[in-house]
Amino acid sequence: MAIKILIASSEAQPFIKTGGLADVAGTLPVALKKAGVDVRVILPKYRIMNSEYKNKLKKICDFRVDVGWRNQYCGIETYEYKGVPFYFIDNEYYFARDYIYGGTCNDEAERFGFFSKAILEAMPHIDFFPDVLHCNDWQTGMTVALLKLQYKDKKEYSSIKSLFTIHNLRYQGVFERGFVDELLSLGECAFDRNQVEYYGNVNFLKAGIVFADAVSTVSPTYAKEIQTGEMGETLDEFLRARGETLHGILNGIDNDVYNPRTDRAIPARYPLKTMRGKALCKSALRQELGLTQEGDNAAIISMVTRLTEQKGMDIVEYAIDELMKRPVQLAVLGSGEARYCDVFMRAVSKYPGRIAMRFEYNEALAHRFYAGSDFFLMPSAFEPCGLSQMLALRYGSVPIVRETGGLVDSIPPYNMITGEGLGFTFRLYDSRDLVGAVDRGLQIFFDRPTQFKELVKRALDTDYGWETSAQKYIELYKNI
């Protein structure tokens, strides 16, 4: 009999996406299904979800969920995507908004407290009690706590095990204690330092860490880093306490969606054996962005990123002038903090034809950035896993990354003597180290073109699809 897994997430592509969590929640289940797992996914039904799928949802049932003094409507709708049933929690009071997270209502604890209870209450209505409930990030952390504190004595729930995956430890869901207790009736025993209590408040992410049967995160190196005081975001003590039940499994990518051999979002397709299509993509990207046509006299360095300090924008700011002394062009796609938007606007004005910026998130344009660039820069201060560096490899754009988190695990440094490795790395979080890594890449690009072409071909041939990671999750589910 196939193992039964229910994945709970606050977002999943192709339905709704703000970041890497959606990629995982949308693609891991498909890989698990192919491996023979009976897997389902449950998430909120947002008003702003992809209308292509929203209009195809089928209602299963509805029931009521107690959230404090409110007795809230909960509808269950479903859609099968690539053979995997996805269930959507419908409640317009909480999810019919123009945003997924945040907003002005200041009721995130109530919204995701409701979602946490609705996940558990939905199980008998969808006739699916999993062997393992796989929860993700703070929005579902309280589901794990509720399972242990309120549902374990119920026969149908008593055998359910739980896995809690941390995608980014920095975002924890910290809320006022009295309000959360009124919403979820956790009981006085839960408000202990070794359970959900957090400096007088309640921490949803900590609840997942403490109560889950096992904890995972999205790369082996990040699993080690978050157990340190430097990167543990004040929860390192509790993560160290998990010992052998804390695991790091590198995320994968969707090789069907990101495939330069078939991708219709890029101007020319290219197989592994020929680079002509990539050269056409490079020229087309320059034309689209208004960069001067330099041929191979200049290398294009691209970034597809959030404009935040976590993504290394502060050291990029100090590196721009130095980079512009080299024969490079810089193409940046992303949005984020106003400060860094201003930095790039000034840079575009100062270096016309050499720096281009698009302040948006555009999936098709992101594909063209990967396909049209020679190098992909990802200088993150910390990076739990990162997918962009893997996508860059998929399109033959050589990564330049800082040695942290999933970047360490996915990009072995290039050895200029042996020719082994996949990218150029730097250790210190410093603009000089960043420029040094770029210089090593440019040395190969200009002085050893044959060697660089072999590096590009190796990048194109690297497989970071979900198959390997899915098998590791299956082993973890069985061990749990």
Q: How far apart are CA 259 and CA 373, in angstroms?
A: 15
Do 4-252+467-479 and 276-460 share a fold?
A: yes
Q: Give the residue extent of every domain in the chain.
A: 4-252+467-479, 276-460
Q: How do the pLDDT tens digits run along the chain, 480 residues long?
A: 799 999 999 999 999 999 889 999 999 999 999 999 999 999 999 999 999 999 999 999 999 999 999 999 999 999 999 999 999 999 999 999 999 999 888 999 999 999 999 999 999 999 999 999 999 999 999 999 999 999 999 999 999 999 999 999 999 999 999 999 999 999 888 899 999 999 999 999 999 999 999 999 999 999 999 999 999 999 999 999 999 999 999 999 999 999 999 999 999 999 867 778 999 999 999 999 999 999 989 999 999 999 999 999 999 999 999 999 999 999 999 999 999 999 999 999 999 999 999 999 899 999 999 999 999 999 999 999 999 999 999 999 999 999 999 999 999 999 999 999 999 999 999 999 999 999 999 999 999 999 999 999 999 999 999 999 999 999 999 999
Q: How far apart are CA 384 and CA 382, in angstroms?
A: 7
Residues 361, 319: contact at Cβ < 8 Å? no
Going by CATH, does the domain composed of 4-252+467-479 fall within 3.90.1170.50?
no
Q: How far apart are CA 381 and CA 442, in angstroms?
A: 23
3-state secondary structure 125-160: HHCCCCCEEEEECHHHHHHHHHHHHHHCCCHHHCCC
What SS3 class is residue 32? Answer: helix
Q: How far apart are CA 341 and CA 339, in angstroms?
A: 5
CATH domain 276-460 topology: Rossmann fold (3.40.50)
Ranges assigned E (strand) in 310-461: 328-336, 355-358, 375-378, 398-402, 424-426
